[in-house]
Amino acid sequence: MHAEDLLTTSPTPEAVAAEVAALPPPPPEALEALRRKLESTEQAPVEREWPPILQAPRNKKDSRYVEPATSHRPVVGPVLVMAKRAFRLTFQPFINEVLRRQVEFNEAILDSLATLYEHQQVQARTQALWRKEMEERLARLEGRRD
C-alpha cells in the first residue's frame, strides 16, 4: 500500500465532520471505562533512585581512583605502600587524563542502561495491563457464550 492509496477526495472532510457530529453521545459507562484505561496507562513517575542492578556499576564508573594502597607483606609491606602512594601522588594527573574518556564512556553507558531499564519497566507495566484487559474481554465473551 502506498500513501497515495490512502488519500481520497470522497467523502469530504466536511461530510465526515457532519457525520461525526450526528453520532449519539457515548454512554457514561463507556466514558468512565475509557477514562480509567487512560489513567492506568499514564506513564508512572520516573524513579529518582538508580535501579538496584545498576548500583554496583555506578559506584565503579570512575576508574581513575582506586582503593587505598595496602600490602599483606609484613616486612616490606610498609615500603611498598609508601612507594605506591608516592607513585599515585606523582602520576595521578596523568592517570586522570588517560582515563578521562573512559570515565565519560562509562557514564554514557550507565545512562543508556538506566534509560533501557526504565523503558523495560514501562513495557512490563503496559503488557500487564494489556494482559488484564484481554482476560477481562475473554471472560465477557465466555459469559455471553454461556
Q: What pLDDT is attached to residue 101?
A: 92
Place 26 in a pLDDT band, splitting at 50, 70 and 90: confident
- Which SS3 state, helix, strand or coil, does residue 69 take? coil
* Closest alpha carbon to 82 in 73, 97, 99, 62: 73
Tens of pLDDT along 34-45? 888 777 767 665
Specify the residue for cell string 542502561: 113
Query: What is the pLDDT at residue 112?
Result: 92
pLDDT tens-digit series, residues 49-78: 778 888 888 887 777 777 888 889 999 999
* 8 A C-beta contact, residue 65 and residue 102: no
Q: What local confidence, expressed as pLDDT, does residue 127 receive?
A: 92
Q: Can you tell me the distance from the alpha carbon of 46 to that of 121, in angstroms, rounded to the nearest whole number?
A: 10
The pLDDT score that the predictor gives to residue 78 is: 92
pLDDT at 63: 76
Tens digit of pLDDT for each residue in 74-121? 999 999 999 999 998 999 899 889 989 998 999 999 999 999 998 998
Tell me what pLDDT residue 34 has.
81
Q: Is 125 helix (H, G, I), strand (E, B) or coil?
A: helix
Separation in Å, CA 129 to CA 3, 47, 107, 126, 136: 33, 20, 33, 5, 11
How much is the pLDDT for 67? 82
Helix axes of 77-145 and 52-59: crossing angle, nearest 10 degrees: 160
At position 134, the amino acid (one-letter code) is M
